[in-house]
Structures are given as C-alpha cells and as structure tokens.
Structure 1
Amino acid sequence: MKSFRIRAIRVSRLAPDTKGGTYFDPGASQHWLVDSLISNPMSGHAMYREKRSSWGIGTLGTIVVEIETEDGTIGVAAG
C-alpha cells in the first residue's frame, strides 16, 4: 500500500437548521439510536448514561470534514 502525507484538514459546521449527516430524525421521538439505554463511551458517568443525545448526538450539529493529501486527493465525510 502506498503511503501518503496529509497536507490539510478542514472542518465546517452546517447551519443548525440544515439536515444532513444524521442517521435519525432529530424531531422524532423514541429513536433507539438516541433514546434507549445502550453502551456508549459515556456510560460510566451517571449524568450521561440514559441518553446519547445528552453528550454527543445533536450537540455539535452537522459537521463536514475534508482531508487533503500532498498529492491533491481530498476525502470528505459528514456527520
């Protein structure tokens, strides 16, 4: 596999009312991804245990990340 070097990393936030990069409808109630008790990185903290939306999902809004390599290749991810 050919190695590469990262030239730049760019991160942008979309407007709060923009829907994109989500796996659920933020307005819907009782979605298993955010409203059920499942193991997550914050499960050890009682304050954040019950809902993932209390610490992660929905707190940042939608972000877009671009990674550019020295040869000009650009990768994009949204979440």
Structure 2
Amino acid sequence: MLRWLLALLFLANILAFVTMRGLFGPSPAAGPREPNHLNRQVRPEQLRVQPMSSADAADLAVVGGPAPVAPIAASALPQ
C-alpha cells in the first residue's frame, strides 16, 4: 500500500516538474499580462514623480505596525 502511495507521489512530482518546464506550453505568468498597456497611455511624458512631504507620509499606515488610534472623544452618558 505504501509503495503505491510513494509511486503515485513520485509520478505527481514528475508531472509537476515537466509542466513547469513547459511541456504543455508556457505558463500564464511567463509573459507580460498587458503587452499593449504602455502603448495606450495618454501623454506618459507628462508624468512626474515627486517626493512625499512629511505631512503626507504621516497619513499613511505603517504595514505591520500597530493600528492608529482614532481621535474620538468619549464621555459618560447622563443618567
């Protein structure tokens, strides 16, 4: 029983290997997803990259950091 399981896993590994090597054609991620994307841009020369100011950087969330505290004022309800 265990021999058949090992043989099946070995065959599955061989199939995965030859599939990734291109036996059934190129993988979908092998080429560009949108080859004409750059050709369709409208006036790409007018794009400008500007550095962020410290005020703009303060609004961005830090990935992996603690969640920012919301500025909410709380008070007791009147009885």
The bucket for the TM-score relative to the shorter chain is under 0.3
Q: Answer 1 or 2: higher relative contact order, Cα 8 Å, separation at least 6.
A: 1
TM-score normalised over the length of structure 2: 0.20
Indicate the structure with greater helix content.
2
Structure (1/2) with the larger strand percentage: 1
Q: What TM-score do the two structures reach when normalised by structure 1?
A: 0.20
The structure with the largest alpha-carbon Rg is 2
